[in-house]
Amino acid sequence: MENRIPLIGEKFPRMIVKTTHGEKTYPDDLNGKWFIFFSHPADFTPVCTTEFAAFQKRADEFRKLGAELVGLSIDQVFSHIKWVEWIKDHLKVEISFPVVADDTGEVSKKLGLIHPGQGTNTVRAVFIVDPEGVIRAILYYPQELGRNIDEILRMVKGLQVATDNEVALPANWPNNELIGEEVIIPPATDEETAKKRKEAYACFDWWFCHKKLA
């Protein structure tokens, strides 16, 4: 079977892994929670170190949303442990989330994370997974570009709002240039509903209606 990145809407593949917090089974161990599963190219590298510090500084914000963080690279677990110690000792940031040691490369192959032009290094990928174990969003970065952790946090918030309220969210939500923090009503599918939409909501047209969250 071809190794590829799973698609949005598919179940996150089940895996038993070694981590800095012991053996884990994903997504089972996080059933009922949102989680962010992210890969980094290698331990003891500058960009990855800045990312881990940035993730940790927002860890409480993720947890307030009921979301957990899980890191991964193809380094061995002792390398992860030493790197996490280094971050604590030198940067005064204590990493509280588990880091998967994918030294066999099996998980990375299953998720399609091996960079074709960079040997065995994993790419900077992010999977946002909902409480049902369904992949809701995927981000994929080159090695030279560090991630915007605030955007990942915004995505989790936005996906939760969209799911809980059956709405869509505009660009740059909650600071959209046209409708601010309001949300978008799903388009009408028949003429009668289209007419009612314009009567019930603020609309630019029947297909573009919006409202404030309750």
Each residue's pLDDT tens digit, 8-37: 999 999 999 999 999 999 999 999 999 999
Domain ranges across the chain: 15-147, 166-214
CATH architecture of 15-147: 3-Layer(aba) Sandwich (3.40)
Cβ-Cβ contacts under 8 Å for 19 (sequence gap 6 or more): 70, 77, 80, 98, 99, 100, 101
pLDDT digits (tens, 9 = 90+) for 54-86: 999 999 999 999 999 999 998 999 999 999 999
What order of strands is seen across the sheet that includes strand 67-73?
Answer: 22-26, 15-19, 99-101, 67-73, 34-39, 124-129, 135-141
The active-site residue, picked from 17, 30, 36, 48, is 48
Distance CA 113, CA 184 (A): 34
Q: Crossing angle, helix 149-165 and helix 46-57, to 10 degrees?
A: 40
Taking the model in full, what pTM does it have? 0.93
Given 3.40.50.620, 3.40.50.920, 3.30.1020.10, 1.20.120.450, which CATH number is that of 166-214? 3.30.1020.10
Catalytic-residue membership of 48: yes
pLDDT digits (tens, 9 = 90+) for 122-160: 889 999 999 999 999 999 998 889 999 999 999 999 999
